[in-house]
């Protein structure tokens, strides 16, 4: 008759598995105080006790059927502490009689095969692996758990939210505070190439939108060139909605407008105009007398 695993070891194993599974799903240790976890743990412990009690009953019945000598060895074996019994078991080799019982009826080159029982720890790990696999695959397909794409989306949303939160605290340039700065030209070029080239063409030589390199301007809302550019990008054109209000529509922030305005100012003032002969669009509007001071 086989010796049974004591209840306290079964309880420890069950609690260990519960901890792993709960942690896996909640990804934090908060569950330790949740009623759901405590309830599941209590019910599991009660189930272990019931299983032990049923085991005891079966053991008693089997014990009654043993011969007296078998009873004596069983009682003697049971006195050995459980862990020592396990330790001894690890080194026990089969007696010749036992080997004969499990010898499989085939061999090769004189090598015979024994139908050994699989070790309990191995079987335990195997069944745990199978159960874990079923749990994992079903939660992968039926829930949001462990889905790389969904986790990525979630983290992406969180990051965007924190960037937005941060942007709210960053002071943004306004038409009053914006100034031309050489340092903004490069970043402004990138913003221009992403948002503006479709209409104003490469280097602002003009296409659907007017040539931005010459000194002819349809719109002249401000007294200085830099502020005029800032104003146009922030508010768009009242004559022609093709030029949208990039700032008012929330596409570009005040700081982005300051940068892209620096780039447009740079191609207009610090570079030679791209004339019609060089592939630029024909001048539109009139030639203003910009105030220099506030630039
Ligand atoms: C969908 C096409 C389109 C895009 C994209 C576009 N614009 Fe324009 N833009 C126009 C048109 C058309 C006008 C002329 C508006 C008018 O007639 O009043 C214009 C006018 C302007 C003006 C004033 C020019 C003038 O002579 O009055 C500036 C400055 C300007 N755009 C800058 C930009 C910048 C910077 C961007 C990128 C952030 C941009 N635009 C993107 C079509 C566009």
pLDDT in tens, 161-192: 999 898 888 889 999 999 999 999 999 999 99
Q: DSSP label at 196?
A: T
Q: Is residue 2 part of a domain?
A: no
| Whether residue 293 has pLDDT greater than 60 | no
How many angstroms does the Cα of residue 243 sit away from the middle of ligand 1?
5
- Sign of the alpha-carbon dihedral angle for 228, 231, 232, 238: negative
Q: Are residues 12 and 132 in the same domain?
A: yes
Q: Is residue 12 part of a domain?
A: yes
Q: Are residues 121 and 18 in the same domain?
A: yes
Token output for 237 = 């054109």
Q: Is residue 43 part of a domain?
A: yes
Q: Is residue 286 part of a domain?
A: no
| Whether residue 1 has pLDDT greater than 80 | no
User: Residue 43: exposed, middle, or buried by beta-carbon count in 10 A (0-12, 13-18, 19+)?
Assistant: exposed
Q: Are residues 210 and 130 in the same domain?
A: no
Q: In which band, very low, low, confident or very high, does the pLDDT at 116 lie, cut at 50, 70 and 90? A: confident
Q: Is residue 22 part of a domain?
A: yes
| Whether residue 249 has pLDDT greater than 70 | yes
Q: In which band, very low, low, confident or very high, does the pLDDT at 12 lie, cut at 50, 70 and 90? A: very high
- Does the beta carbon of 202 lie inside 6 Å of ligand 1? no
- Does the beta carbon of 217 lie inside 6 Å of ligand 1? yes
- In terms of residues, how long is the chain? 295
Q: Are residues 99 and 30 in the same domain?
A: yes
* Domain extent for 219: 182-278
Which residue of 199, 221, 222, 247 sits with most ligand 1 atoms within 8 Å of its CB, as the best mutation to test the pocket?
A: 199
| Whether residue 145 has pLDDT greater than 80 | no
CA distance 43 to 188: 65
Q: Are residues 74 and 136 in the same domain?
A: yes
Share of the chain above pLDDT 90, in %: 60
Token output for 166 = 């941060």
- Does the beta carbon of 281 lie inside 6 Å of ligand 1? no
Q: Is residue 236 part of a domain?
A: yes
Segment 275-287 mean pLDDT: 94
Q: Are residues 135 and 235 in the same domain?
A: no
Share of the chain above pLDDT 70, in %: 99
As for how many domains the chain has, the answer is: 2
How many angstroms does the Cα of residue 125 sit away from the middle of ligand 1?
68
**More confident call, 151 vs 108:** 151
The CATH number assigned to the domain holding 192 equals 1.10.760.10
Q: Are residues 18 and 90 in the same domain?
A: yes
| Whether residue 199 has pLDDT greater than 60 | yes
């Amino acid at each position: 008759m086989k010796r049974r695993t004591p209840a306290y070891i079964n309880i420890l194993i069950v609690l260990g598995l519960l901890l792993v599974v709960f942690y896996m799903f909640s990804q934090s240790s908060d569950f330790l105080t949740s009623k759901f976890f405590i309830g599941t743990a209590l019910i599991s412990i009660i189930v272990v006790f019931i299983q032990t009690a049923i085991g005891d009953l079966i053991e008693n019945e089997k014990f009654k059927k043993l011969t007296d000598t078998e009873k004596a060895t069983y009682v003697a074996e049971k006195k050995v502490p459980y862990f020592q019994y396990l330790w001894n078991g690890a080194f026990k080799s089969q007696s010749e009689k036992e080997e004969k019982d499990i010898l499989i009826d085939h061999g090769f080159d004189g090598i015979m095969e024994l139908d050994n029982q699989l070790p309990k720890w191995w079987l335990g790990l195997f069944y745990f692996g199978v159960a874990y696999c079923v749990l994992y695959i079903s939660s992968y397909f039926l829930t949001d758990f462990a889905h790389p794409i969904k986790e990525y989306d979630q983290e992406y949303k969180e990051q965007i939210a924190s960037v937005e939160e941060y942007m709210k605290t960053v002071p943004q340039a306004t038409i009053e505070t914006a100034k031309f700065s050489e340092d903004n030209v490069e970043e402004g070029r990138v913003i221009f190439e992403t948002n503006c080239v479709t209409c104003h063409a490469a280097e602002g030589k003009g296409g659907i939108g007017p040539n931005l390199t010459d000194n002819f301007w349809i719109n002249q809302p401000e007294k200085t060139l830099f502020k005029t550019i800032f104003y146009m990008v922030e508010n768009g054109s009242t004559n022609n909605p093709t030029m949208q209000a990039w700032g008012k529509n929330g596409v570009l922030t005040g700081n982005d407008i300051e940068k892209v305005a620096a780039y447009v100012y740079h191609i207009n003032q610090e570079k030679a105009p791209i004339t019609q002969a060089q592939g630029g669009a024909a001048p539109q509007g009139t030639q203003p007398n910009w105030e220099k001071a506030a630039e």
